Amino acid sequence: MFQEIHNTTEDVVFAQVTEIFDFIEKEGSAQGFCTCSQCRRDTACYVLNRTVPRYVVSNRGVARVEQTSIERQQFTADIAAKVWEGLKQVHHNQRPAGHEAGKGIYAENDGPAFNIPTIVGRLLNGSNFEPLSEIAVELRRDGELVRMRNSNWQNPYHLVANTEGTFTFWPYPIPADAAGTRTAFEFSIRVAAGGFETLNHFFKLPVISEKDQVRSYSMARTFKLPDLYMFPPGGDENIYLKTED
């Protein structure tokens, strides 16, 4: 019933991302921008999350979108500007090492595994309770960065203003000997930022092993952390927190 609904903004964004990235790939760039498919997808998502969608359900709707050429030209120019902005942001936030961290302890093949759920939390300023941004949040286990399920998930996670302090991680499955085994894995959230005491939040995440790896994201598999707070240096707040099972 809904298959005929189409967001024409996506067409413009995808076209502009392709045009700009292909140009950089051909001509090169002094900044050394990456033009891989992942960076293209990340940039497209960046732009789409900051652009008003335009939905149509028929050829008449498409015609209405196309009828004002000047308006469309301005819209396309605005999208192009956002693509360049997103390209720079994606380039700035690239952390290739984080995706491969701890590779040896994670399941590489099919078979029994502990499927770690997505981990979600919020980071707030302890002085005014405002969400923090432009800060890197790390997920660690045994002192090392935890490898993410795929390159769409970052570790460290870089907070931006429009996510209201929310960070997310989806760790790679950990191998198990058999299905049905319950184990509590200990992780920590570490945040070091100028103007604040370093935050170390330790928590245990109980997981029951399954016969196969889960390969698709589901909101039903989510572990929600309590709100975390950063405080200025010299405060009496206990910044070493622990969440029990």
**Are residues 63 and 152 located together in one domain of the fold?**
no
**Are residues 132 and 183 located together in one domain of the fold?**
yes
Written as six digits, the tokens of 87 are: 């390209």
Give the pairing of strands 136-141 and 182-191: antiparallel
Range of the domain at 195: 102-243
Give the count of domains, the chain: 2
**Are residues 213 and 194 located together in one domain of the fold?**
yes
**Are residues 82 and 198 located together in one domain of the fold?**
no
- 139: which residues sit within 8 A by CB, 6+ positions away? 119, 145, 146, 155, 157, 169, 171, 187, 188, 189
pLDDT tens-place values along the chain, 245 residues long:
555 778 888 989 999 999 999 999 888 877 888 888 888 988 998 898 888 888 776 555 444 555 555 577 888 889 999 999 989 888 776 544 434 444 455 556 678 999 999 999 999 999 999 999 999 999 999 999 999 887 778 899 988 887 889 999 999 999 999 999 999 999 999 999 999 999 999 999 999 999 988 877 777 789 999 999 999 987 544 444 445 54
**Are residues 119 and 230 located together in one domain of the fold?**
yes
Q: Would 168 be classed as within a structural domain? A: yes
Q: Which residues of 159-179 are buried (b: 16+ CB within 10 A; e: fewer)?
A: bbeebebebebbbbbbebeee
Report d(CA 230, CA 19) in Å as an integer. 42
Report d(CA 169, CA 117) in Å as an integer. 9
**Are residues 166 and 204 located together in one domain of the fold?**
yes
**Are residues 136 and 53 located together in one domain of the fold?**
no
Task: Say if CB 13 and CB 48 are below 8 A apart.
Answer: yes
- Sign (positive/negative) of CA torsion 87, 90, 96, 100? negative
Task: Say if CB 113 and CB 212 are below 8 A apart.
Answer: yes
Q: Would 1 be classed as within a structural domain? A: no
Q: Would 41 be classed as within a structural domain? A: yes
Give the pairing of strands 157-158 and 136-141: antiparallel
Burial of 14 (0-12, 13-18, 19+ CB in 10 A): middle
**Are residues 67 and 137 located together in one domain of the fold?**
no
**Are residues 136 and 29 located together in one domain of the fold?**
no
The predicted model scores a pTM of: 0.60
Q: Would 79 be classed as within a structural domain? A: yes
Burial of 43 (0-12, 13-18, 19+ CB in 10 A): buried
**Are residues 68 and 122 located together in one domain of the fold?**
no
Question: What's the chain's length in residues?
Answer: 245
**Are residues 107 and 81 located together in one domain of the fold?**
no
> How many C-beta neighbours within 10 Å does residue 237 have?
12
**Are residues 124 and 228 located together in one domain of the fold?**
yes
Q: Would 157 be classed as within a structural domain? A: yes
